[in-house]
Structure 1
């Protein structure tokens, strides 16, 4: 009778928590899913770095253009291959400094980012256009990331028109009428 009571009581005890086997299986499944997701995350982060640098250069060009209009003076934008940029007055005066704003390469950029341009300087006039007196100036900037596989890379390009308008485009898009085309 006592054995039946103990057996019955032992059989009615409910289990709480995980068993060791369930825990090990869960950890193995999570590790397998994580290993599959890591390359996709690296690609997404690398492409986001490309976008960040391209937008930074685009914003720098727009700021330089607005400063030229605001000060009614020639503003020189200078780009470095490390994605750093700066702009200031072409002719320094007390009211127009040689350095107005700058962004260092360490701000939001990775060492894997490559920036190539046709020229590394652009001069904006007081009208906001590129200076026609400057025979050669920046008109195209390509931003890429060596960390991302070439097939998955979303290289971006910044185009600077003679009128001073800068835009970011995707050289891989070739569909007519698409706003992302270069």
Structure 2
């Protein structure tokens, strides 16, 4: 789920940070640039772990800021396919579930990855509840409620291309999407098991 990623970056340090010790100033600027940002095919940056090396400090003509070549490690969030994660239910609609793990909210469980057999009961046009029909003969089904902690298995992690134009009524662009599944034993709300 979390791993270190070694990055080499040419960093221009703003003059406002030059009063700080160089290591602290560079760490502050790296956090501003990378923290809470998605890097395609690497994941979501959660922290600057350490700085391995700092070289340079050249000031180019016409520029009042020194430029350094910095090698550093970032702590990245990118779950691997097959990993089991516990999350909270954010929304439930006819297309499936949307989950959150607190710092990341773009986790989706599509309808074809829900426990089978199942059915959906709409509460209104945008919300509803999914049910797992555990024993159809005895009319025994288990609902997925908004207060539930849900265990899911990661199916895929994708990085959609940035749209050129986005209609106003569409949902906000997500630079990283996780698709999950509840269709195995032990998955779903922890209260089921």
Q: Shorter-chain TM-score category?
A: under 0.3
Greater Rg over alpha carbons, structure: 1
Q: TM (normalized to structure 1)?
A: 0.27
